[in-house]
Amino acid sequence: MLNTAPCRCLMDNHVDSLNNAYEEFVAAAANVLEAKESSEGQKTAATDAALENFKQRWELFRVACDQAEEFVESVKQRIGSECLVDEATGSVAGKPGQAATSGLPPISAVRLEQMSKAVRWLVIELQHGGTAGGSSHSHSSAPFDARFSEDAAQ
């Protein structure tokens, strides 16, 4: 099962960072308005400095938003991967409150890992201009699942 303690700590850090960046951005916006008001709408060194600070705070806020979004995406992928493993290995069945599985036989965790590695190798090979059909990568060092005819033939 997914250990959420490190994730929660990281999430708290991202939320704090995002909150701080937002607070500084709003304060910088208020400073621009105050500088404009005190200069009666005229361009001054104070308004220029306030605008420059506002631009910097805007960029910092955008960076914090991007980092938080990347974190959320990584957590979504992690949760999705764990759910896939749970579903494929049948470990979801029998948990209270969980819906019944699709009726497909569960895949062993070893077999799932083998398939996952094979897909990753194919993706890497295709990204580097290789041909997926001509793959000579052999992953025979991993055990195989005798329920699958393609494994039994190895």
Q: Does the pTM of the predicted model rise above 0.75? A: no
Average pLDDT, the chain: 77
Residue 85 CB contacts under 8 Å (≥ 6 apart), including other chains:
91, 109, 112
- Judging by beta carbons within 10 Å of its beta carbon (0-12, 13-18, 19+), is residue 92 exposed, middle or buried? middle
Quick one: what percent of the chain has pLDDT higher than 70?
65
Domain ranges in the chain?
8-82
Per-residue pLDDT at 53: 97
**C-alpha span between 63 and 72 (Å, rounded):** 14
pLDDT tier at 90 (50, 70, 90 boundaries)?
low
pLDDT tier at 5 (50, 70, 90 boundaries)?
low
CB contact at 8 A, 125 and 132: yes
Residue 139 pLDDT > 50, yes or no? Answer: no
How far, in Å, are 53, 62, 101 from residue 148 at the CA level?
63, 49, 20
